[in-house]
Amino acid sequence: MQAKAAPSADFRRALAQYATGVTIVTTLAPDGTPTGLTVNSFSSVSLDPPLVLWSLSLRADSLAVFRECEKYLIHVLAVDQLEIAKRFATRGADKFGPTAWRPTDDGLPLLEGCTAWFECGNRSQYEEGDHVILVGRVEAFQTIGGAPLIFHNARYVSHLAEEPLPPVLRARWD
């Protein structure tokens, strides 16, 4: 359907055609409570300086914590972390209780089993519409690798197309 002023459901359906990975962003609340949520709005912004972004709903319970925190950790999820993705997308759930994690030297909650993580300074925020865009300066990161969890058309997807793409589509751009 083509729509100029798309009603919300149609707009969501169109956006959902864009396949993404799945991340979990975590930090510590001022009282030391581990805090986090599932996020697929993650994107790279800049290589030098190293910047990434994600957007957070103004209705999220964790909004105040992420607006105020100094640092957060972004975890790129592996395909076998489906249950963790669901748990961290559930408002009011016991997110950290049943999850394998350990504190970093800074005390941030680092989830085990992800394919990569980025430790970010909370650099800038831009409120737009019903979300706030958070730009993070990457201060540390680790690549672990492995099969990614994918989100497409409002569903978690476990594997990419079997057919390898022609090499030109996989070329580096630098």
Query: Nearest distance from residue 96's CB to ligand FMN, in Å?
Result: 12
Binding mask 87-126 for ligand FMN (x = CB under 6 A): --xxx-----------------------------------
What amino acid is encoded at 60 in this protein? A
Applying CB under 6 A, among 16, 45, 60, 135 the residue interacting with ligand FMN is 60
Helices (H), 43-95: 63-68, 82-88
Question: What is the spatial distance between Cα 46 and Cα 74, in angstroms, rounded to a whole number?
Answer: 16
Question: Should residue 84 be labelled a site residue for ligand FMN when binding is judged by CB under 6 A?
Answer: no
3-class DSSP assignment, residue 38: strand
Question: What is the spatial distance between Cα 40 and Cα 127, in angstroms, rounded to a whole number?
Answer: 18
Applying CB under 6 A, among 27, 40, 81, 115 the residue interacting with ligand FMN is 40
Q: How many beta carbons lie within 10 A of that of residue 57, not counting itself? A: 14
What amino acid is encoded at 96 in this protein? F
Subset of residues 10 to 29 that bind ligand FMN, contact rule: CB under 6 A: 22
Number of shown-chain residues binding ligand FMN (CB under 6 A)? 17
Q: Which residues bind ligand FMN (CB under 6 A)?
A: 22, 37-41, 54-57, 60-62, 89-91, 151
